[in-house]
């Protein structure tokens, strides 16, 4: 039966709640933590290090850390754009996918990023290091009109070179094993950006031989699998036949029929209208009228978000910039109070959005959950726990209460053996 792993996407070392959640997950017996160099600009790896400072060596040795490399974003992207930086001097092969997202799996980049990961994690060796979404090379080639046979051959060559670098790191003792995390493993085989996986073990054998290792250390594949996205099970079956383990990510975030769904239900906020009314009352004056009008508009549109992730994007790109402009000329006690009211309101507003989007999801995807009468998240996770080709289900839990819920479900499913 699969076990749960702790996923650290959107985990930050600057948020104590995230670190507390990691600590409780480790105390509760979680044996695998999944992270990446680009999660919160390295903040997720630093958060893991902070959490492990609370435990002795025996506990630290009992929890596997899986990290990933490939993305060049945030501060790393700024460093890469600096012609005088050490990173730029490596002359890595880089895909410039968008102005905010570059990507590389070059041999030199592997060594550079592993060094950074080990520093952030405060470790001398990493349990498993994964190539993170190498299909960016395919996407770039498609955009440039490169024929499929050509870009697949080039992709395999890129992966082989990365495997050679990873085998070298195994020999040096800086990693125990390696693998690939790819969203494209879960695509239909006829999709242009599907990443064929049948020859990966052959590449690993060749890379081990090239590096002088007796056997390869390719152990792991990671990909999206959930109750709505089942295509990836084909890859998981193949992986088990090859003796590889499978990490399933996005268990509760499903892309289905062109839409993203959060496979979870949430209770409505009990305090929403109290915070709403307090905020509106405080802002009911000429000075704060722009804030008042925005909050009224938000209240009227809280049912329009189909996915809580849409709201998160909306609040960061639209709401917060508007609020910053509205509060620019306001100073002193008034500014501090309105910010305090806004923080409380927006937290409760998000709960209302999550609750409403959960109801919509349950209705729109009822055919997927017709044989389960529990909450959406329990049904979705129970489905994955029945998949013998999955080893770990990676679940994000950035609050202690979410960790407790996960550990409770883990115990219940284990006792009932599904």
How much is the pLDDT for 417? 65
Question: Is residue 32 situated within a structural domain?
Answer: yes
Q: Which residues contact 373 (CB under 8 A, 6 or more apart)?
A: none
Residues 210 and 325 grouped into a single domain: no
How much is the pLDDT for 329? 84
Residues 360 and 395 grouped into a single domain: no
**pTM of the predicted structure, to 2 decimals:** 0.90
How much is the pLDDT for 418? 53
DSSP bridge pairs for 131: 69, 180
Question: Is residue 370 situated within a structural domain?
Answer: no
Average pLDDT of the residues in 237-244: 98
87 phi/psi in degrees, rounded to 5:
-65, -45
Percent of the chain with pLDDT over 90: 86
Tens of pLDDT, residue by residue over 101-146, are: 999 999 999 999 999 999 999 999 999 999 999 999 999 999 999 9
Q: Which residue shows structure tokens 């002359």?
A: 91
Tens of pLDDT, residue by residue over 270-297, are: 999 999 999 999 999 999 999 999 999 9
Average pLDDT of the residues in 255-259: 91
How much is the pLDDT for 177? 98
How much is the pLDDT for 416? 75
| Pairing label, strands 64-69, 71-72 | unpaired
Q: DSSP letter at 371?
A: T
Return d(Cα 162, Cα 178) in angstroms, integer: 10
Return d(Cα 315, Cα 304) in angstroms, integer: 13
| Tally of structural domains, the chain | 2
Residue 287 belongs to domain spanning: 272-364
* Whole-number average pLDDT of the chain: 94
Cα 47 from chain centre: 15
Question: Is residue 207 situated within a structural domain?
Answer: yes
Question: Is residue 80 situated within a structural domain?
Answer: yes
pLDDT exceeds cutoff 80 at 414: no
By mean pLDDT, which of 117-121, 267-271, 389-393 is the weakest?
267-271
pLDDT band at 158, cuts 50/70/90?
Answer: very high
Q: Is 69 helix (H, G, I), strand (E, B) or coil?
A: strand
How many Cα atoms are found within 13 Å in the side-chain-facing hemisphere of 102? 20
Q: DSSP letter at 191?
A: S
Q: Which residue shows structure tokens 């290792």?
A: 213
Residues 302 and 389 grouped into a single domain: no
Residues 239 and 162 grouped into a single domain: yes
Specify the CATH number for the domain of residue 91.
3.20.20.100
Average pLDDT of the residues in 349-361: 92
Widest Cα–Cα separation across the chain: 75
Average pLDDT of the residues in 362-380: 92
Q: How long a stretch of residues is the chain?
A: 418
Residues 111 and 253 grouped into a single domain: yes
Give the count of beta carbons closer than 10 Å to the beta carbon of residue 27. Answer: 14
Residues 50 and 75 grouped into a single domain: yes
Residues 82 and 224 grouped into a single domain: yes
Residues 346 and 405 grouped into a single domain: no
Q: Is 286 exposed, middle or buried (0-12, 13-18, 19+ CB in 10 A)?
A: exposed
Residues 83 and 168 grouped into a single domain: yes
Average pLDDT of the residues in 69-75: 96
CA neighbor of 187 nearest in space, from 153, 234, 154, 219 = 234
Question: Is residue 369 situated within a structural domain?
Answer: no
Question: Is residue 10 situated within a structural domain?
Answer: yes
pLDDT exceeds cutoff 60 at 52: yes
Residues 287 and 140 grouped into a single domain: no
Average pLDDT of the residues in 401-406: 92
Residues 236 and 344 grouped into a single domain: no
Question: Is residue 239 situated within a structural domain?
Answer: yes
Percent of the chain with pLDDT over 70: 100
How much is the pLDDT for 117? 98
pLDDT band at 171, cuts 50/70/90?
Answer: very high
- Higher-pLDDT residue of 307, 375: 375
Question: Is residue 173 situated within a structural domain?
Answer: yes
Tens of pLDDT, residue by residue over 300-335, are: 998 888 888 888 889 989 999 999 999 988 888 999
Residues 379 and 234 grouped into a single domain: yes
How much is the pLDDT for 309? 82
Question: Is 120:49 a contact under the CB 8 Å cutoff?
Answer: yes
Question: Is 26:52 a contact under the CB 8 Å cutoff?
Answer: yes
Average pLDDT of the residues in 31-49: 97
pLDDT exceeds cutoff 90 at 366: yes
């Amino acid at each position: 039966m699969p076990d749960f792993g702790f996923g650290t996407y959107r985990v930050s070392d600057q948020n104590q709640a995230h670190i507390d959640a990691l600590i409780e997950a480790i105390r509760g017996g979680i044996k695998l933590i999944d992270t990446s160099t680009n999660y919160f600009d390295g903040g997720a790896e630093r958060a893991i290090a902070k959490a492990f400072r609370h435990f002795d060596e025996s506990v630290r040795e009992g929890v596997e850390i899986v990290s990933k490399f490939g993305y060049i974003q945030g501060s790393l992207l700024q460093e890469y754009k600096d012609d005088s930086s050490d990173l730029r001097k490596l002359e890595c092969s880089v895909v410039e996918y968008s102005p905010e997202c570059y990507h590389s799996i070059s041999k030199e980049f592997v060594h550079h990023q592993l060094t950074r990961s080990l520093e952030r994690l405060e470790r001398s060796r990493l349990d498993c290091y994964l190539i993170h979404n190498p299909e960016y090379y395919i996407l770039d080639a498609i955009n440039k009109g490169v024929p499929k046979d050509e870009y697949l051959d080039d992709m395999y060559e890129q992966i082989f070179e990365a495997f050679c670098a990873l085998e070298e790191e195994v020999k040096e003792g800086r990693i125990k094993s390696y693998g690939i995390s790819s969203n494209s493993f879960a695509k239909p085989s006829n999709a242009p950006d599907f990443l064929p996986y049948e020859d990966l073990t052959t590449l690993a054998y060749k890379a081990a031989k090239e590096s002088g290792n007796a056997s390869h250390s390719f152990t792991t594949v990671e990909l999206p699998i959930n109750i709505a996205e089942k295509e990836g099970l084909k890859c998981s079956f193949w992986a088990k036949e090859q003796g590889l383990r499978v990490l399933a990510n996005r268990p509760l975030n499903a892309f289905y029929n062109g839409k993203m769904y959060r496979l979870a239900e949430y209770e409505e906020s009990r305090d929403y209208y109290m915070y709403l009314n307090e905020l509106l009352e405080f802002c009911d004056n000429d000075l704060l009228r722009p804030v008042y009008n925005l909050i009224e508009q938000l209240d009227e549109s809280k049912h329009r978000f189909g996915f809580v992730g849409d709201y998160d994007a909306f609040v960061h790109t639209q709401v917060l910039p508007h609020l910053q402009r509205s509060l620019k000329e306001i100073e002193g006690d008034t500014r501090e109070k309105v910010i305090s009211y806004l923080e409380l309101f927006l937290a409760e507003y998000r709960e209302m959005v999550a609750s409403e989007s959960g109801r919509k999801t349950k209705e729109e995807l009822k055919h997927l959950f017709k044989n389960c009468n529990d909450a959406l998240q329990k049904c979705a996770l129970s489905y994955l726990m029945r998949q013998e080709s999955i080893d770990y289900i990676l679940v994000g839990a950035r609050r202690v209460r979410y960790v407790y819920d996960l550990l409770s479900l883990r115990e219940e499913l284990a006792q009932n053996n599904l």
